[in-house]
Amino acid sequence: MNKIAVVGAGISGLSMANYLEKHSIDYHIYERRKKKDLAGHGFLIPQEGMNYLYEIIEPDLLFQHGRFLKKYIQYSHTGKILGEKKLGNVFAISRNSLINLLAQNISPEKITYEETVTPNDRQKGRLMLSNGTEIDAAIAIISDGSRSRIRRSLFKDETMKMVRESEVVNIIHDKEIADAIENDFIKFHHEEGGLTFGILKLSDNTVLWYSQFDNEKYMINECSVGNLKKYMLEIFKDWHPVVPSIIQKSDYKNVHLWCVYELEKLNSFYQDNIVFIGDAAHPLIPFTSQGVTSALKDSFILTKYLVEEDNIEQTFSRYETERKPEIEIHINNGRTLLDQFLLPLSQQTENMLPISYK
């Protein structure tokens, strides 16, 4: 098979490369960031996603870098238990660890870092490297994330909108807090809705925390990193003491404020010799916890059809036909979870787990 270009080395681009590697299919990845520059914090990965990961990463190696969570415990903001549910093998892992594990199987000559790929504005469907040369590949697999510039250049009439939820995500290294939460996923909810604080353990002394804000009610998007801590301490001052204590003790150097976007309507997942995977094909809002699993599944299924089919159009069409209906379910579930989040707790009726299942 002729050469494949993969644009982006996030979870979807790197997992794609791992599956291609398994089938001895030639490829090259182009990635905008520096090799060591790993933004982002952590993921929840349901059992289905783990099964796709086991195909390309030794399970024991994975288990050394993350942990399975036992229970999801939902609290009111003052610490009253509202409910709990067993988590069936949901794995928590930092983004750095997962990216590093996926990158370890890729030989250095197959990946170019600090290379931003752009669409050629004069020739639709052609991709350029930063030195102005055109990428010469039979197939381009685009995994450049939810705000994909290449997707927008092909589907000019798409509508992306900001979601009414923003997230602050951070990691704290603190053994005492890590010991206290065991292997549970704990989430505090404001009684009036639109504000949560979640905590989960990534390792013996590392805890991931994230906070979800209704960005119409809270001015979170106007915060700079400099005043984020002060703003959060003010908002969370009357919450269960563990919450302000984590906010206070955290280092804000790597804190991330996430504005979430979604496509009003999904585009096709391909055009000519270009095919989209992961967030570039279908941004999913964080409530679903399905971004990584969907990225892995996209890569797995696209590889399967690349192996089975000779015809590119047939390959891409089978991939889209298999993947789109399931993605639409997660998009709808994500919207339901968002609607619930915005409601006062007393009016929330749906499944309390912060994960979308098919």
Choices 4-12, 238-246, 307-315, 331-339; region in contact with ligand FAD by CB under 6 A: 4-12
Among 97, 215, 293, 315, binds ligand FAD (CB under 6 A): 293
CB-nearer residue toward ligand FAD: 212 or 273: 212
**Which residue, judged by CB position, is nearest to ligand FAD in the bound state?**
291
DSSP secondary structure string for all residues of 102-149? HHTTS-GGGEESS---EE-TTSTT-EE-TTSPBP--SEEEE---TT-H
Nearer to ligand FAD, 10 or 244 (CB): 10
Q: Using CB under 6 A, pick the residue from 4, 5, 6, 9 that binds ligand FAD.
A: 9
Tell me how far apart the alpha carbons of residues 60 and 52 are, in angstroms, rounded to a whole number.
Answer: 14
Read off the tokens for 80. 């009253």
DSSP letter, residue 36: T
Of 17, 19, 20, 30, which one interacts with ligand FAD (CB under 6 A)?
A: 30
Select the residue interacting with ligand FAD from 6, 18, 102, 167 (CB under 6 A): 167
Is residue 164 within the footprint of ligand FAD (CB under 6 A)? Answer: no
Piece of the chain touching ligand FAD by CB under 6 A; list 129-137, 191-199, 264-272, 292-300: 292-300
Does 32 engage in binding with ligand FAD (CB under 6 A)? yes
Q: Please check whether residue 40 is in contact with residue 256, taking contact to mean a CB–CB distance below 8 angstroms.
A: yes
**Residue 12 sits in the site that holds ligand FAD (CB under 6 A):** yes
Helices within the chain (DSSP H only): 11-22, 47-54, 59-65, 95-103, 149-154, 175-181, 225-235, 242-249, 291-308, 312-342
Per CB under 6 A, which of residues 102..121 are in contact with ligand FAD? 116-117
The residue count for binding ligand FAD (CB under 6 A) is 35
For the segment 231-270, give every residue that binds ligand FAD (CB under 6 A).
258, 260
Other Cβ atoms within 10 Å of 73 Cβ, number? 18
Residue 275, amino acid: V
CA atoms within 13 A on the CB side of 52: 25
Beta bridge partners of 213: 166, 195
Residue 98: CB minimum distance to ligand FAD, A: 9
Report, in Å, the least distance between residue 52 CB and ligand FAD. 11
* Residue appearing with tokens 């002394």: 205
Contact between 57 and ligand FAD per CB under 6 A = no
Distance CA 165, CA 162 (A): 8
Residues in contact with ligand FAD by CB under 6 A are 7-13, 30-33, 43-45, 116-117, 143-145, 149, 167, 169, 258, 260, 278-280, 284, 286, 289-293, 295
